Amino acid sequence: MVVGCGPAGASAAAACAERGLSVLIIDRKRSVGVPLRSAGYVPARLRRRAWFDESCILQAVEGFRLFLPDGRTARAEAPGYILDRTRLDKTLTLHALECGADLANGTVVGVSGPKVRFRREGREAEVEGGVIIGADGPRSAVGRAIGATQVECMVTAQAEVGLRVPFSAAEVRFDRQCIGGYMWFFPSGRTARVGVGVPAPHAGSLRGLLSSFLGYLSGEGRIYREGVLGYSGGPVPVGGLPSPVQSGCALLAGDAAGCADPVTGSGIYAAILSGTLAGRMASEALSGGGDLVGYRRALERVLRYKTEALAGRLRTWEDLGSLAERAWRVAEYEEEH
């Protein structure tokens, strides 16, 4: 059983199904990948770990410019892509279905042991699985069932706007007016994703901060101020892995497991890695070749550069540029080894 059909859930389902398991994905959305809740950045190395259609790529970027509160700037060499997140989710889900998984649209209303109860078109059904993988976001129903809570989330608001001139790098701004949050500017072809994230207690400031940032970018001649094409947003987990991430037959992956990137806020890469890991460990446990008890340790190893960053100096703004560079450097090393 996989609850949630984003990058983590689809990757977990594919990892199980391609090993011959019977897999059911339950997702509350009627349309996979909608609404958009991501700026869409992924590192270039993702293509060595997950296949996605070339049409998912909106733009290649050479890395990030980081703007620090004290006025300094730093550059993180992190080549990657800005993706059409909706198409990516559909592509990954299609791959899971081609591997043999099934998809049911419905809202999970209860998880008890190996059983999941969900509602679909006014009717409820209960199904039982050997392993349940919760990939249903930071407010995970599976997480609640096993006593895991996301203690800390950033709340975000994002606008997609017309871009006046092309840009080859993304930007993340750690501005003191965001009260411990950040702003971002991610070019995506002819448009850009512009957003603001702040700690949940300051959610009331989001609209004003986003409007101010859009005005600043318009004043610089980057964007069409009156060309807002759409808005999106949602919670981003920033508190690291919850406790537990595994209990009994249940595992958490993606945002449900707190896997958002501590520097960029992007969780796509970590979602795919954690979902694939959850799927592989689930299939090994069900085939008698392993168990689920070591999942947390394995997940910490896979996401070591993220958990180290979250446990370090991010919240004090100290050495943020070097922290970002270290994060990507460790990620590249682990990928190669």
The 10s digit of each residue's pLDDT in 97-108 is 999 999 998 888
Q: Are 268 and 47 in contact (CB under 8 A)?
A: no
Report the predicted TM-score, pTM, of the whole model to 2 decimal places: 0.88
Q: Amino acid letter at 109?
A: V
Count of C-beta atoms within a 10 Å radius of residue 77:
13
Query: What is the percent of the chain with per-residue pLDDT over 70, rounded to a whole number?
Result: 88
| Per-residue model confidence (pLDDT) at position 152 | 76
Domain 154-235: give its CATH superfamily.
D-Amino Acid Oxidase, subunit A, domain 2 (3.30.9.10)
First-to-final CA distance of the chain: 31
Per-residue pLDDT reduced to its tens digit, 197-247: 888 888 899 999 999 999 999 999 999 977 789 999 888 887 778 889 999
**Model confidence at 307: pLDDT above 60:** no
Separation in Å, CA 25 to CA 60, 104, 254: 31, 6, 15
Per-residue pLDDT reduced to its tens digit, 37-70: 778 888 887 787 777 788 899 999 998 888 877 7
In 223-318, where do the E strands start and end?
223-237, 246-247, 250-252
Domain at 2-62+79-152+237-336, CATH from 3.40.1360.10, 3.10.310.30, 3.50.50.60, 3.90.650.10? 3.50.50.60
Order of strands across the sheet that contains 132-134 = 102-105, 24-27, 2-3, 132-134, 250-252, 246-247
Of the candidates 322, 304, 300, the residue with the CA atom closest to the CA atom of residue 313:
322
Q: How far apart are CA 104 and CA 86, in angstroms?
A: 18
What residues does CATH 3.30.9.10 cover in the chain?
154-235
CB burial of residue 337 (10 Å; 0-12, 13-18, 19+): exposed
Query: What is the token pair recorded at 214?
Result: 């859009």
**Model confidence at 315: pLDDT above 50:** no
Residues pairing with 112 in the sheet: 115
Q: Is 268 helix (H, G, I), strand (E, B) or coil?
A: helix
Which of 172-181, 218-227, 249-258 bottoms out in mean pLDDT, i.e. has the lowest? 172-181
Question: pLDDT confidence of 314, banded at 50, 70, 90?
Answer: very low
**Model confidence at 194: pLDDT above 90:** yes
Q: Is the dihedral of CA 14, 16, 22, 27 positive or negative?
A: negative
Q: Are 89 and 135 in contact (CB under 8 A)?
A: no
Query: What is the token pair recorded at 118?
Result: 């969900």
Query: Which one has a higher pLDDT value, 63 or 327?
Result: 63
Of the candidates 31, 32, 27, 35, the residue with the CA atom closest to the CA atom of residue 105:
27
| Averaged confidence pLDDT in the chain | 84
Element (H, E) at 334: helix 320-336
Query: Which one has a higher pLDDT value, 151 or 41?
Result: 41
What residues does CATH 3.50.50.60 cover in the chain?
2-62+79-152+237-336
